[in-house]
Amino acid sequence: QFVLGPKSTRALRASNVTELIFNGGGTGKPAKNMSATLVFSNIPEPDGRRRLRIETEEVSFTRSVRLNRKGDPISSYSINQNPCTATEMRRILAEAGLRGDGYNIVLQGDVTNLATMTPHKRRGILEEVAGVTAYDEEIRKANNQKKKVENSIETIDIFEEDQKKRLKDLEKEREQALKFKDLKDDLDKSKIILQQSRFKNKVDELKLLGDERSRYIDEKEAISSELSISAKKVNEFDEEMVKVSNSLEEILGGDAKDILDSIKEFEILIESGSDRIGDQEKKIILAKQEITISKKELIRAEKAREDAEKNLTKARKAVSDAEECLKNADIKEKEARKAIQSGDKHGRDLNRKLGQATESENIAQSKYAKSQLNYDRAEQLCQIASDKLADLESEYESAILDRDDQELLGEDLQEALPSVDRASLAEELRKIQKQDTLLCGDRDKSEAKLRDAERELEKARARQEAKSSRPGSASTIAALSKLRQSGDISGILGTLGELATPKDPSHESALAHALGNGLRSIVVKDDNVASQCISWLSKNGGGRATFLPLNKLIINRPQGRTLLVARNPGIIGFVHDLLDYDEEIETAIKYAGRNTLIVENMNIARKNMGGVRMVTVDGSVIESSGAMTGGSKISNDQLSFGGGGSISNLDKYERAVDEAILIYSTVDTALKELRSNEQLLRAQIHGLDDSDHSVKLRNWKADMERSQRLVKDVSNKLKEAKKEYDNLNSERQILFKACEDNLILLEQCKKERVNCAENLQNHTPDHLSEILRNAEITRTEAERSRLAYDAEIHTGKHTLELLKTRVDEISRQILLQEEIIKSSEMEIDNLTRSIKNADSELIELKAKSSQFDEEQQILHDRRDVILEERASLRAHVAKLSQDRQTLSSRVEELNSQIKQKGIIVNQMAEELKDSQIALPSGDIQLPTMSEAEKSVQGLERRLSHLGDVNMLAIEQYDIAVERIADLISDGKLLRERKEHLIMIAEQLENERKTRLLSVFSHVNNNFSRVYEILQPSGSGSLKLENMKNPFEGGLEMACVPPGKSHNTRRTALSGGEKSMAALALIFAIQDYEPSPFYYFDEVDQNLDPFNSERIATLCRMRSQRAQFIMVTLRKVSLTLADHHIGITHAGDGCSRRITDFDRAAALQLGEDLEAEEKARVASEAEKAAMPELPVAENMPRTPEPLGTPKSLGGLVNRAGIENKDEKIVVNGLDSLRDRTDELSDEIQQKENIKVIQEVEELMISPEED
């Protein structure tokens, strides 16, 4: 095996090649190399062909292993002392049927493994012998490629369908895009025409405004003259009205006035009474309708109740009959049981079991009846709730319809609403009066607020003047800020408060107190700027200020004590480290900070005080001298960042004054406008007639409110009904489940009782069994009837209670409606009497009022005339005054409009020129502006109706068409490839199956022949578990040793019998694939002497045509061998070989040899007669896989498709290591051959010289 090349060095009992080299045996010297040689006889066969394709009588194959300097093994190979590679040597050996892992070499354990392995593994051996494993890789490649092709086809189909859908969408979008483009061009032209029309329209408007202004001025002068005349007439009417009123007061006394008031009261009473009678009559009609409906329902409910009572009576009678039958059945059953009880013990036990089963059935029956009753009750309640829900839904729909009708009526009323009515105008007048009162109050408040703001401003100015002498005062800082902004003095950077900001807002108060008045110090670039500022302040009386010139400031570094304290816990840091500022003013910041430390609280400051200036977070200051300053915050003049110390309140007060003035002027203007509107509204009210539309609107609002309230009430009831129905339905389902469970339990108990009864009947005499059987049948029928009628009784009772409740409810509704009718009729009678009495009283009062004299009537008529004429005249005067005011306002507006229009016309002309649009001449015919706008709006509307238009759709449409064509083409190509792959896979599968079955048939015949030789009078054969598809089943050895039954299974054979079967299979395979030599390693170790002799004899017979090398300890095998080779240990770690080549072993085998020869001839004849098997080298090959279809392109990754390479199955690290060793050996061998050839060339070259 070492020379032939095993799959792994483990077959040679070594983990690697190095362990094959002699290691010295512990006492000897380790060897550096080792070598083994196999010598084969290569005499030509009768056909002239040599088994080994080398033209020598003997062929030697040598493999050597040596260690290099690093101790790594290096293998070398040679044939007839000529160097070669391992691949070349193994190829020559393989062509002669010689392999390190072939079936001509049988190692220890191979026989046992072959006998005990699974049928599927045994079929694998047959596949290797038949050479069909070469097909597996091609079939796998074809299937994998087909799977990829199918995935690509599926992807292409998806993309094709998606592209076709997209093409439909793009077709519409393309049409829209083309339409949009045309409309856009038309729109641009229309917009140009619109601009020209607008310009021309503005010019025409300007001319018309001038004409209108002239007309309004003429009308205003005419109205002014008419207004003076009307005012005189109003005064005359007022004087005459006073005279008529005085005369009426003299004529009319107290009684006449009382009579007139009484007449008005009775008229109101009669009118309201008539309305109330109509309402009561409506109530009566509705109540009668309800009574009619309730009576019909009452008749139906009474009938249903009578039917329920009849059914209940019938059910009770049926229950009593069933109980009577049960009682009779119990009596008969007890008598039979009593007779049985007197019998044997087994009968008593059966009787007792029957009694227990009957008791269990009764309990289960009662549970089921109770659960059935509860379920029926829940079912009925659920049905009632469902009916109630349906009624409420119908009522809700009616309420919704009524509300919708009222909404439609309201819309009609709103459409019929007059432009103005007295009620709305009166309501508007009340609102205006209310607003007038509020605005008067607001005006007074704003006036007072304005006075207060002016007073506060004066006080602030006084305080400002008082503070102006302090350094860094607000006025000084403001003056310097203005000076900096004006640019008169350059180099003023600003105050420290403006130039620095805290990094942490929570430290702002502490940093402000740490800097103190330094926040108001003004930072300047140099001392020259500071000097100029001081001179300017002294000349202009701007106050005093502290300046920090950056070029002259000197700062002190922190002392040692300060630096030590800064590292202590609770110390936040130096002031200049906690501020954010520009590096330019760092000197000023450090100067103002004075090496001050910010600490967390007073306790920490007290621990570290002394020689260090500190400020706590809350603003307490601890000086280096020990002085401590702190307390509550002063609201006035607080220090803060963002400004120059104390922010001046002067601007705030000035803003307050401006706001107060603005508010006062706004309120005053609004009040004047409101009073003007009030006068117009009063004049409009005087000119109106009353109508009944407001009454209809008021009645509609009441009806609408009632409808909405009804919808809301019914909706709430509907929600409650739905909730109730859901709860009842859930409870019904739970009860139904419990009922089903109890029914199952009852059926089980019944089945158990029936079994007990049958057992008892089978044990008892025939007449008692008949009695029990009849009693059982009677009991079953009676129980079923009682159960059914009990449920019907309970259901009927509940139904009857509900029907009674329903009848009582309907009766109560009828009585209630009758009470409503009765009370309404009484109310109508009372109202009729009241109206009748009021009519009689009204007649009497009108008779009394008619007694007034003619003079009073004349005065009344005259007063009414004066009132009407004066009201009309006042309204006319007010109208004239308003018209004059309107005309004046209109003239002013026209003047303003003419001015504005002129500016607009000029601007439009400039815009048209800028847009390169020609100005329209006077004779050009342009559409009106409305027509032009309508045209533009129409085009814009048509564009907007198109929605979002994809202008790229035109190009995308063409791309999609081309893409679909590519997809169709690639799909066709892939489908052709799929069909081709299916054909290849089927052809490969057929060839593989044909080859396997043909080889199986030949090996099976060989197996049968060999087994008969090894086991005389025995029989054996091979069987495929699945002949139709042999690759889905295993291979089984069906062997019948001598003296065993034909039904004996392989698993029932002894170990020796299994070994004989396995050896028969090995010999059968060897007959199919003959080899020049065979090597058996203790294959007879598990065999008895007889079977060992049979194996040795067979090997002896076969040695006539092949060489057999057999490792054995059996004497019979040693007796039949031609030569003996013994291996022994000498104790020094080296093995010794003892060879006997001179033994004469001419044994006469007789009939066995003839039988073996006949079997061999028959096997060779069968093999020669076998049809020509498919050759693996000629099998159809799977074509190279197609690349990614062009139509998919870059979409493969986005579609989630992964082109995964085929995975290579690696049979563990051992096989990988072995293949690596072999490859390394081949590489090293090639290098060795190259070196030898170079040496030979060097040796030849001197001779040539």
Q: What is the pLDDT of residues 539-584, one digit of tens each?
A: 776 678 888 998 888 888 787 778 888 888 889 888 888 888 888 8
Q: Which of 208-212, 244-248, 374-378, 1003-1007 has the lowest mean pLDDT?
A: 244-248
At residue 1233, does pLDDT exceed 60? no
Reduce the secondary structure of 885-921 to three states and give it as a string.
HHHHHHHHHHHHHHHHHHHHHHHHHHHHHHCCCCCCC
Nearest Cα neighbor of 974 from 814, 1210, 1249, 1192 is 1192
Confidence of residue 765 (pLDDT cuts 50, 70, 90): low
At residue 491, does pLDDT exceed 90? no
More confidently predicted of 78 and 888: 78
More confidently predicted of 791 and 1123: 1123
Q: Which of 91-100, 644-653, 957-966, 1091-1100 has the lowest mean pLDDT?
A: 644-653
At residue 1035, does pLDDT exceed 70? yes
956-969 pLDDT, tens digit each:
788 888 888 888 88
The predicted pLDDT at position 683 comes to: 64
At residue 1159, does pLDDT exceed 60? no
1186: left (phi over 0), alpha (psi -120 to 50) or beta: beta
367-386 pLDDT, tens digit each:
877 787 778 778 777 877 78
Which pairs count as long-range contacts for 69-74, CB under 8 Å and 24+ apart, including other chains?
A: 71/18, 73/16, 73/17, 73/18, 73/21, 74/1225, 74/1228, 74/1232
The predicted pLDDT at position 1147 comes to: 41
Check if the beta carbon of residue 791 is closer than 8 Å to that of residue 373. Answer: yes
The predicted pLDDT at position 180 comes to: 81
Confidence of residue 1237 (pLDDT cuts 50, 70, 90): low
The predicted pLDDT at position 691 comes to: 45
The predicted pLDDT at position 1017 comes to: 80
Q: Which of 341-350, 436-445, 531-540 has the lowest mean pLDDT?
A: 341-350
Check if the beta carbon of residue 315 is closer than 8 Å to that of residue 793. Answer: yes
Count of Cβ atoms closer than 10 Å to residue 748 Cβ = 13
pTM above 0.75, yes or no: no
At residue 112, does pLDDT exceed 50? yes
The CATH class that applies to domain 474-645 reads: alpha beta
Nearest Cα neighbor of 548 from 468, 493, 622 is 493
229 Cβ neighbours under 8 A, 6+ residues apart:
none
Q: Where are the beta strands (DSSP E) in 496-540?
A: 501-502, 522-524
Taking CA 697 as the corner, what is the angle to CA 694 and CA 699, rounded to the nearest 5 degrees? Answer: 110
858-868: b (≥16 Cβ within 10 Å) or e: ebeebbeebee
Q: Which of 87-91, 356-360, 1014-1018, 1190-1194 has the lowest mean pLDDT?
A: 1190-1194
* Residue 65, H or E segment: strand 58-67
The predicted pLDDT at position 31 comes to: 82
Residue boundaries of the structural domains of the chain: 1-101+1215-1249, 312-414+695-825, 420-469+649-690, 474-645
Assigned token pair, 782: 């009676």
* Residue 167, H or E segment: helix 133-251
At residue 145, does pLDDT exceed 60? yes
The predicted pLDDT at position 549 comes to: 92
CA distances (Å), 249 to each of 235, 242, 790, in order?
22, 11, 96
Helix (H, G, I), strand (E, B) or coil at 59: strand
Average model confidence (pLDDT) for the chain? 75
More confidently predicted of 685 and 509: 509
Average pLDDT of the residues in 1019-1033:
85
The predicted pLDDT at position 599 comes to: 92
Count of Cβ atoms closer than 10 Å to residue 219 Cβ = 14
Q: Which of 507-516, 569-578, 707-716, 1185-1194 has the lowest mean pLDDT?
A: 1185-1194
Check if the beta carbon of residue 1053 is closer than 8 Å to that of residue 1041. Answer: yes
Average pLDDT of the residues in 218-247:
76
1100-1132 pLDDT, tens digit each:
887 777 788 888 888 878 888 888 888 776 666
At residue 1160, does pLDDT exceed 60? no
Check if the beta carbon of residue 806 is closer than 8 Å to that of residue 220. Answer: no
Q: How far apart are CA 512 and CA 643, in angstroms?
A: 12
More confidently predicted of 1228 and 884: 884
Q: Where are the beta strands (DSSP E) in 988-1112?
A: 1019-1024, 1035-1040, 1077-1081, 1107-1111
Which pairs count as long-range contacts for 499-504, CB under 8 Å and 24+ apart, including other chains?
A: 499/523, 499/581, 499/582, 499/585, 499/588, 500/579, 500/580, 500/581, 500/585, 500/589, 500/641, 501/579, 501/580, 501/581, 501/641, 501/642, 502/578, 502/579, 502/580, 502/641, 503/578, 503/579, 503/580, 504/578
Check if the beta carbon of residue 1139 is closer than 8 Å to that of residue 1092. Answer: no
The predicted pLDDT at position 853 comes to: 46
Assigned token pair, 708: 């909405």
Q: How far apart are CA 265 and CA 275, in angstroms?
A: 16
Q: What is the CA radius of gyration of the chain?
A: 63
The predicted pLDDT at position 1244 comes to: 43
The predicted pLDDT at position 910 comes to: 83
The predicted pLDDT at position 665 comes to: 77
How does DSSP assign 603-647, residue by residue? HHHHHH-SSS-EEETTS-EE-TTS-EE--SPPSTT---TTTTSSP
Q: How far apart are CA 727 and CA 717, in angstroms?
A: 15
Provide, rounded to the nearest whole percent, the portion of the chain with pLDDT above 90: 1
The predicted pLDDT at position 927 comes to: 78
Average pLDDT of the residues in 947-964:
79
Confidence of residue 615 (pLDDT cuts 50, 70, 90): very high
428 Cβ neighbours under 8 A, 6+ residues apart:
681
The predicted pLDDT at position 875 comes to: 64
Confidence of residue 1197 (pLDDT cuts 50, 70, 90): very low
Assigned token pair, 253: 């006394």
Instruction: State which of 743-757, 936-950, 1215-1229 shows the largest mean pLDDT.
Output: 743-757
At residue 616, does pLDDT exceed 90? yes
Q: How far apart are CA 692 and CA 412, in angstroms?
A: 15
The predicted pLDDT at position 1202 comes to: 44
At residue 195, does pLDDT exceed 60? yes
Helix (H, G, I), strand (E, B) or coil at 97: coil
The predicted pLDDT at position 1213 comes to: 46
Q: How far apart are CA 481 and CA 644, in angstroms?
A: 10
- For strands 492-495 and 522-524, give the pairing: antiparallel
At residue 625, does pLDDT exceed 90? no
At residue 997, does pLDDT exceed 90? no
At residue 1077, does pLDDT exceed 50? yes
Average pLDDT of the residues in 412-419:
63
